[in-house]
Structure 1
Amino acid sequence: MNNLYSFDLGQGNIIGVDEAGRGPLAGPVVAAAVKIKKYHSFFDDINDSKKLSEKKRESLFDKIITYCDVGIGIATVDEIDEHNILNATFIAMNRALNDISENNFSYDKVIVDGNKLIKNFNGKQEFLVKGDSKSLSIAAASIIAKVSRDNIMKKFSKFYPEYYFEKHKGYGTKLHRQILLEKGPLSIHRKTFLKKILGTSNS
């Protein structure tokens, strides 16, 4: 049995929450909420999404969606620019919790990855630093959020093939920065994130 599940069992009936996409220069921030209903053998492979290959994440994504209660929330680029990335992350997390709550099940508390509680969430909650390496529910949420966001960026790459979003997923890689300097930002770029690169937040 995955050691991360042992932690969850000691916490009671919980929902794990995590996000993906706080750092990129383009695209939304995506949050996920996961409640594990019953232990399955594939849980043995779940870990922090950053420690798994893309292929492994995608395989686990399908299984988590099938066997767990899952909610997904998205905050748009416009919301990131308007509210800042931290508050936009809270918006996405609240939307993920609203999404999962449509399943009408009971839970004791929400445990969110990081060092901050979710703003404007009225339920019982705790934060857990490096939670995606401690809690199975949070690790599963990290996979759902990461794969969901990657899929969004892959779709953008079909509309803007010259920006190669399928490769860098909007993160500020050397390739992405070079393309920005050559071609300029798109509507899906976070204007407030581009000041250091382009010299103005209004470009």
Structure 2
Amino acid sequence: MELSKLTIKEIKAKVNNFEEISEDLIEKLAADSRKGVQKLARQIVRRQEKREEAIAKFKKMSRHEDRLRQQGYNLIAGIDEAGRGPLAGPVVAAAVILPEDTLILGVDDSKKLSEKKREELFAVIQEKALGIGVGIVDSQTIDRINILQATYQAMREAVADLEQVPDYLLIDAEHLPETDLAQAAITEGDSNSVSIAAASIIAKVTRDRILVDYDQQFPEYNLAQHKGYGTQKHIQALREHGPTPIHRTSFKIVKKLS
């Protein structure tokens, strides 16, 4: 690339098409007399440093899956849930099987990600995963069997929803009862396992979309904003309007305001 014949805009357009920029090109950009090109060189260095950090983080978060593959397990499903604490809506669990050679940069505990980033990663996981299963347990069932048992039920439904039967389950902080599959509970698994982190994103985005739909039915509760969690505005709406059919009447504050 002969930089002197290109405008800064043209240089930016060209380098933005490269996934990685060679050190030789970065040196040429840094040596250019134009301050805009020098600034671009610094931006590229920072961008590539961030990418290397993201790759290193992904590899670190893959250590549980790598260890299990060395032991002969191939279809390793990460499992996580979303919606255990809210006052309204279902609890949703997801099970995700990722291929061995995948690289999904930025995957992390869904609670640490912005809504925009979760949506972006949701699409990437859908594209790259070997299998995705989702389990949804409604508020009436939560009231009947309690939230812990409802969470377990959602997790079992998510595993059953997979097209392939996994040979190992990695679960965020839980052991899943009533299953014969080999499993391990991973402490803070959504931050320490790529499979569980991917499952946390699928579960969170799926549940959030359900609450956005419910917002159309019950606009006075502003469910699209707080997703059923016990915010001040949500509690005030409960005081004014009482619970809806999607509220968890077994939860203390909902019962109190019923």
Length-normalised TM-score, structure 2: 0.72
Q: How does 1:3-18 map to 2 (within 5 A)?
A: 3-12=60-69, 13=74, 14-18=76-80
Rg: which structure is higher? Answer: 2
Amino acid at match of 1:165: L
Q: Higher relative contact order by CA 8 Å / sep ≥ 6: 1 or 2?
A: 1
CA RMSD of aligned residues (A): 1.4
- Distance in 2 between residues matched to 1:24 and 1:63, nearest whole Å: 27
4+ residue segments displaced more than 6 Å? none
What is aligned with 1:178? 236
What is aligned with 2:205? 147
Structure 1 residues without counterparts, runs of 5 or longer: none
Amino acid at match of 2:161: D
Amino acid at match of 2:198: A
- Distance in 2 between residues matched to 1:94 and 1:56, nearest whole Å: 27
Amino acid at match of 1:31: A
Instruction: Check 1:31–1:183 CA distance in 2 against 1; reply closer, same or farther (3 A cut).
Output: same
Listed one character per residue, the Cα deviations across residues 1-59 of structure 1 (whole Å, up to 9, x for unaligned) are 31212332122231100000000000000000000014444x12101100000000011
Q: Give the percent of matched residue pairs that are identical in Structure 1 and Structure 2.
A: 46
Q: How does 1:1-203 map to 2 (within 5 A)?
A: 1=55, 2=58, 3-12=60-69, 13=74, 14-41=76-103, 43-68=104-129, 69-100=131-162, 103-104=163-164, 107-114=166-173, 116-193=174-251, 195-196=252-253, 199=256, 203=258
Q: Would the aligned equivalents of 2:79 and 2:199 in 1 still touch at CA under 8 Å? A: yes
Amino acid at match of 1:54: E
- Distance in 1 between residues matched to 2:126 and 2:152, nearest whole Å: 22
Deviation at 1:104, TM superposition (A): 2.9
- Distance in 2 between residues matched to 1:124 and 1:10, nearest whole Å: 14
Q: Would the aligned equivalents of 1:8 and 1:135 in 2 still touch at CA under 8 Å? A: yes
Amino acid at match of 2:199: A
Q: Would the aligned equivalents of 1:181 and 1:198 in 2 still touch at CA under 8 Å? A: no
Deviation at 1:62, TM superposition (A): 1.0
Partner-residue secondary structure (3-state), 2:119: helix
Aligned residues: 195
Higher strand share: 1
Structure 2 residues without counterparts, runs of 5 or longer: 1-54
